[in-house]
Each structure stands twice: as structure tokens, then as C-alpha cells.
A and B are shown apart, each in its own frame.
Chain A
């Protein structure tokens, strides 16, 4: 219990650091010095102090959307297994709730983007929804595979009972999860979080009109989402538990750091996919999950 609480506190504190690491890696690849590691913390601080600008088109969904998104992630944080594969709350069936919480978040992100009546934001929202149609069943399939492998129906139960035997399935599922992780967090090659050309963006374009504290909540939520989905990938690829709190926490945190570095490397070496190719990329994730499942059932 205490350990799981520690996990949550660490996630809340360290989540914005991930994007700092990613940006640092990208800068190194590009031969730049890059932003400070704690840039997102400075940004959040700055945004929280600012006032806000609203479009006359907007209704209360515009600002309620980001708040709902954050509340939902707080809920997801309670059931996602982190270090030692344990979560604060675990019950059989939390897998389903977990995925549907992201559905709820997406619903409100899209509604608050559409609230501005802007074409750009509509475009981003439409793409976000389209990619979810491919990503969500793939995530379900991956979790089904793990549920069958471990004969367990809760995320924590699944994640704390892996072993290195039969690692093919684990590797395939983690590969699928990694693809979903990139897509859901709007990273390359699905979405480019760095350009400022609206037409090429998905997540960033959906929040184009948000400002001040609302934008801060959005940025913070995005980094929490990165952390939560990242821990799914890390837990599957590195199921190493020593039983000692400090060591397990360190292993988990270094896993997250490695994951961010890998994302940085991927983003430095890859270009954004043509939009029409993105579904194919996501279907690769789906296919990996299916192959894992077939291996598991056979």
C-alpha cells in the first residue's frame, strides 16, 4: 500500500521529466545543446501564472475537457501497475475500466477541441478519433494475451506474475504496446509534437486555443499519460522485481528513463509517417498483439 502510494507520488512529480529527457536526446542527435531537462516544469509554472483567452464560440466544455482529462488520468494512475507490478487499487476487471478511462478522456479532449469551431482543431480531433479506432482494439488484444498468459484479470495481478520464461509473447506484446504508446501520446511517427504547422499535428492542434492554467493542465496531463502508458510497456518488457523497495523503484525509474531515451532516438531517426500510412502502422501493432495471442493460445 505504502509502496503503491510512493509510486503515485513519484509519477506525479517525475512525469514532466520524461519530455525533458526526450527533448535532450533529440537535441543531442541534432547537435544542439537543447532545452534544460526541467523545461516543462518551467513552462507549467509560467502557464499557471498567466491569465487565459477564450474564443466567443466556446462553451464550458472548452475548459471542462482538460480538467476531466486530468481527473481521468488520476483515476488511471490508481490502477496502473508501476514498480513491482503493483497499483494502489487492484480488482479483477480493472483492465476494462483502465482502457475505458482513456476513452472518456478522449471523448472530452475531442469535444473541447471541437468547441472552438476551428477547422484545424476539427482536423486534429478527427485524426485522434481515427487512430483510436485502431489503437484501442490493439491495446485490448495485448491485454487479453497477458490475461491468458497469467490467468489473471487485474492489471496488477497480470504485471506482478510475469516471468522470463516464454519471453517471445512478452516481447511481441511489448512491441505492440510500444506502438500504441507512441500513437496515444502523439509521438513520431504518428504525430509530430514539435512542428508548428497545424496541418501536420494531431494532439497539439487540438489544444491550439487553450491558454493559461488550462493549457498547463493539458501539458501536465499529456506527460502523465506518457508515464502511465509507459509503465505498461516497461512492466511488460522488464518484469524484474527484487522485492526491495529501493531497488525496484530504481529499476522502474531507470526503465522509464530508457524508454524516454528510446523515444528520443526514434524521433530523431524517423520522419513523420504520411497520414494515410498511420493506420497501417497501428495495424502492425494490432497484428503483433494477434501473433502474441496465437502463440499464447497454441
Chain B
């Protein structure tokens, strides 16, 4: 416990000191990043020890207010969320040191580090806190500090707008959380988590309301469709290391909160599981479809967060269904898959955001249609980005495959179950995951090949070069972790013992059975990987030998006889994705502006597609317009005359006094 509090303190203090040194950006970066890294290492070692030694600590707070003591505690669930947090904080802070260099003259770097370290330490705090009020305070610090990070480049109008949308949405979310904690506190007579777990488990009529509030309140932060709308706005606006941290770990606090609440409210009902499965499928499929239609690389990655949160929700949904229907295999594989996916998504999404940030910094554009051929200039970024892209597409032998495999396996095991609900839920999960997987491959082959392969489509892409060594090392670090987790699953899977006991509440005999089964399966999978590697290396050597003595020539790409190819003739990202986006246009509803060729010698043709968020367009914008016009009708109350405002106060006070006395 001490290590975690220490790591929070180190990160927080270094952030404050970095802010004080704001006038010396180099020193400030050094202190801010240094504190973040040291704090992360302190916390990470403790988190890993907690996971493998199955430690649970609960410390009642020393300061007792009438909201309860500010208790803290560490259990398996906390440790599973802290581990990726610390990894990502370390990686993105090292990255940020070099990423921020171009901003030295323009911006207050000290403020960046203050909010960055505040964000990191507030996430860590909310994961280790065991008190509702304390939790909400940390939650608010997290939201507000990330708001200031999102609006780092506030000279752009789009950034300010994204910031406002983010601020509003996170406060709508927190409103539900206030209701949630007030209800739970009311039911248990305390805000301490320790009292929740004993007091809430038999509150049957209220538990469904609490579940609903949790899904909405935490769902806004996690990015469940239809509460995801802030993600594609805020992630592109934020500086890349911040997008990495937000997308990789901050949105997971929503999942953490949801799981925590589920642990309090007793045996799950069937509809909870089905609801989460449904939300997961919708988020997963819509997320990846919207991603496919984007041209802005960071916006695209943001939509993929929606997709991956969907996969996590599918796993939790299956887990709840499994618990309700007493199918331990479905429950354990579902929970294990989604919890592993939380860690995996943190790693590969963080990696992808850092990679995208490197490309954006080197070329000055986020529009993938203006890039191309970057791989030759930035090989390290390219390779690590490819690893991230393959991992997020769920391809073997990377970590994304391992977690999706667990969810698939649980579903396949229950497809043979005779009762209908688990069979149909599993079927939906399998089909949904298959569709999501295929679409993700489509999306990431698109991003990778349009950005990194072929010829440069603009001068900016032409002059790109590798980012600094610190930025590279962060990306390499995360990429190595993606590979390592993918191939060392037999070693990792035993670490799930304590966590699964905590989350599922199942007997240890069933958990051991699961761990054994999962481990044997992954050993088999590793054998196949080994064969793949051996065959590949063998072919590589054979090919080298074959071409060694022959004259290998270079000639232009086959252009069908046209003798002046230009980079503009390459396939673009939009054209690559067009068959799929056209097919799904009934969902995407993209705007198309086309100037088609008119006469015999057409002068100019153009085509522009833009895919805006349908939820934003058809739900939130009309809704906010309605609210706005309603509020405008009440504008006469607020006209700027101070004396009348004082009158309002006096009248209110009078009414209160009369009410109290009467």
C-alpha cells in the first residue's frame, strides 16, 4: 500500500515542482517526466507483486469526516488497472519530453507537466481509494486535469470546441455517478466501500437502478455507444502523449468503476449481462465502422477505442450471463478475456497514438490522405506502428489475439449448452467479434499502408524523418510488451487466479479448472507460433540464397503502360475503404460532395467524403439546440443589473427563512 501512495505523491509533487519551473522548459520537462517515471516504477513493481502474490490490503483512513474515513485499499482488481496505468505513464512521459520541444517557445510547459502528473496521480488515486466521496473527488480531478491537457493547443478553435464538449460530457457522466453514490450511501449508511459490499448484496429492487446508473455514468467515461461522442473530438485535439494516456488508461477507469460496482451489488441478473453484451456489440461494430470512414488518423484511433471498449463490454456481458446461468466456463473466460483486453488495449492503443503522434509531428498533418511512403523515412515508427496495428486487429501472435481468443473460447464452449440464452449470447458474441475483427483488419491495413507505404503524397510526407530517440524508445518499449504478452500467455494466465476469484466470486476449484484449460490451450498455440517462426526463417534464408547470385533489378511499379505515374494516382485511404463504407452507408450516412466529369475533356473532377458522427448529428445536436432555445426563453432573468441580482438573493433568503420558521 505504501508504495502506491508513495508513487502518487512522487508524481503529484514532481508535477507541482515542474510547474514552478515553468519558465525553464528543459528543467520543467526533466522534473515532470522524471517524477512520472520514478513514480511509475515504484507503483508498477508493487502492482505486479500484488498480482502474482495475490495480496489484498485494506487501510481505513485516518481522517474521519462525516462522509467517512478516507480509506484506501489494494486488491487484484486495482492492481490490474494500475499495472497498465504505470506502464503508459512512464512510456508517454518519456515520449512527451521530446514531443514538447517544438512548443517550448509558445507554451507554458510547466502547466503541461502539472496537469499530466495530476492526471496520472488522480487515476492511480481513484483506483486505490475505498470511499465514495474520495473516489468522486479523484474522478473530478482526473476529468478537469485531462480537460486542461486536451486544450493544450487552445489557440485552435477546434481544440477549444473539443474541450468544451469533453468538459460537458464528463460532467453529465459524473452527475449519474453522484446519484449512484448517493443511492448506495443512502442504502448502506456510509460512503465506505467496505460497507457497500456488506450492505448492498441483498438490495434487489435497487440493484438494477444502481447498475443502470453505473452503466451510464461510467459508460460516458469509457466511451460506450451512444455516450462515446466526446472521444473522437477530444483525442485528436489533445497532444499525442495525452491522447495515448487518455485512450489507453483514462477511459478504462469507466470499466474499473463498473466492475467495482458490480462487485458490490450482488448476484447479477440476466438482463445486466445481456445489456452489456448488447452495448458491447453495438459499440464494437459502430466504433470500427466509424473508424473506417475517417481520414484523420487520431480521430480514427479514437473510434477504435470505442470498438475495443465494446470488446471489453462483450467479455463482461458474457461473464455476467455465465454467472447468472451458472456456467463457470463462460463467466471465467469472459471476465479473463475482457480484463486482459483492458491491459492489451492500453498497450497497443498507447503505442498507436504515440506512433501517430510521431508521424503527425514529423509531417505536420493528421490527414492520412496527404501522407504515404513514410516507412522509408521512419522505419522504427513504422515497424512499431505495424505491431500495434496487427495487435489491435487481433492477429496472432500478438496480445490482442490472446484476449480476444479467451472471449471466443468462452463463447464456443457455451455454444454447445442446451439452454437457449447462453447459446444465443455466445453466438452473437462470436459473430460480432468476427465482424469486428474483419473490419479492424480492413481499417488498419488502410491506415498502415496509406500512411507508411507507397509514394509520398505531399511534400510534408517527403521530408519526414525519424523522431527523437526518447520518442522511439517509448514506442519500442510498448511494441515489445505487445509481442511478449502475446507469446507468454502460458506464464501470464496463472496471474489471473486471484482476480477472477474476486470478480466472479466462483469457487477456486472452478477457477483452477479454467486456468489449467487456458494454459494448455495457449501452450498448443505457442507450438503453432513456433512452427510459423521456423518456417518463416527457413524461407527467408532459402530466398536469400536463391537471389544471391542473380542480378536483382529495380524498375517502376507496373503502371499499365502509362509512362508518367504520379503519387496522386495511388489508391487513397477513402478509395480503399469505399466498398465497405458504401455498403454500410445506411449506418454511416457519410456526406459526399462530388464534381463528376461533365464533357468530353473534363477539366476538374473532385470527390470529398466526410463521415460525421451520426449520434452527434441526429441526437445530441438537435437535443442541445432544443435545450438552448428553451433556456434562451429564460434569459430575461439574467440581464446584468447587479441590484436586481442582489434582490434575487434577498428574496431567496427570505423565502428560506419563512420556510424554516413556518
Contact = CB atoms under 8 A, between A and B. Distances in A.
Interface stretch (A23-31, A105-113, A184-192, A245-253): A105-113
Contacts of A141: 427, 430-431, 434
A265 interface: no
Contacts of A63: 543
Contacts of B575: 122-123, 126
Contact of B580 (A57, A89, A101, A129): A129
Contacts of A101: 396, 528
Given A91-B521, A104-B395, A107-B441, A293 B427 contact: yes
A78 B557 contact: no
A137 B434 CA distance: 5
B453 A114 contact: yes
In the A-B complex, the 4 residue pairs with the smallest Cβ-Cβ separation, listed nearest first, are A122-B571, A117-B454, A114-B449, A51-B550
A54 B405 CA distance: 38
B197 to A, nearest CB: 35
Contacts of B536: 67-68, 71
Interface residues of A, number: 77
Quick one: which of A74, A96, A111, A125 has the most chain B CB within 10 A? A96
B372 to A, nearest CB: 7
B441 A53 contact: no
A147 B409 contact: no
Interface in B560-588: 560, 567, 569-571, 575-580, 583
B528 A89 contact: yes
Contacts of B579: 126-127, 130, 275
A72 interface: yes
B521 A125 contact: no
A59 B168 CA distance: 46
A122 B570 contact: yes
Interface stretch (B12-20, B90-98, B411-419, B502-510): B411-419
Interface in A59-104: 59, 61, 63, 67-68, 70-72, 74-75, 78-79, 89, 91-97, 99-101, 103-104
Quick one: which of B415, B431, B557, B578 has the most chain A CB within 10 A? B557
| Majority secondary structure, B binding face | helix
| Majority secondary structure, A binding face | helix
A212 B555 CA distance: 14
A162 B375 CA distance: 49
A20 interface: no
A5 interface: no
B557 A55 contact: yes
Contact of A89 (B423, B524, B576): B524
A132 B441 contact: yes
B593 to A, nearest CB: 21
Given A56-B556, A140-B434, A129 B442 contact: yes
B547 A213 contact: yes
Interface of A: 48, 50-59, 61, 63, 67-68, 70-72, 74-75, 78-79, 89, 91-97, 99-101, 103-104, 106-107, 110-111, 114-123, 125-127, 129-130, 132-133, 136-137, 139-141, 144, 147-148, 151, 153, 198, 208-209, 212-214, 217, 275, 279, 293, 297
A57 B373 CA distance: 8
Contact of B437 (A103, A147, A214): A103
B448 interface: yes
Quick one: which of A100, A127, A147, A209 has the most chain B CB within 10 A? A100
Nearest to A297: B423
Contact of B431 (A68, A72, A100, A140): A140
A133 B435 contact: yes
Given A59-B375, A104-B395, A153-B412, A53 B554 contact: yes
Given A100-B401, A212-B547, 19 more contacts: A48-B546, A51-B552, A54-B555, A55-B557, A91-B521, A92-B409, A94-B524, A101-B528, A114-B576, A117-B373, A118-B571, A121-B571, A125-B449, A130-B580, A141-B431, A147-B415, A147-B416, A151-B416, A213-B543
A103 B453 contact: no
A103 B393 contact: yes
A136 B528 contact: no
A97 B412 contact: no
Contacts of A95: 412
Contacts of B376: 59
A111 B375 CA distance: 12
B605 to A, nearest CB: 15
A126 B531 contact: no
Given A114-B453, A209-B558, A130 B442 contact: yes
B594 interface: no
A100 B395 contact: yes
Given A59-B453, A129-B580, A209 B557 contact: yes
A111 B449 contact: yes
B554 A54 contact: yes
Interface string B15-41: 000000000000000000000000000
A144 B535 contact: no
B552 to A, nearest CB: 5
A242 to B, nearest CB: 28
Nearest to B549: A51
B416 to A, nearest CB: 5
Contacts of B555: 53-55
B551 A67 contact: no
Contact of A93 (B409, B435, B557, B558): B409
Contact of B408 (A59, A96, A132): A96
Nearest to A110: B445
A60 to B, nearest CB: 9
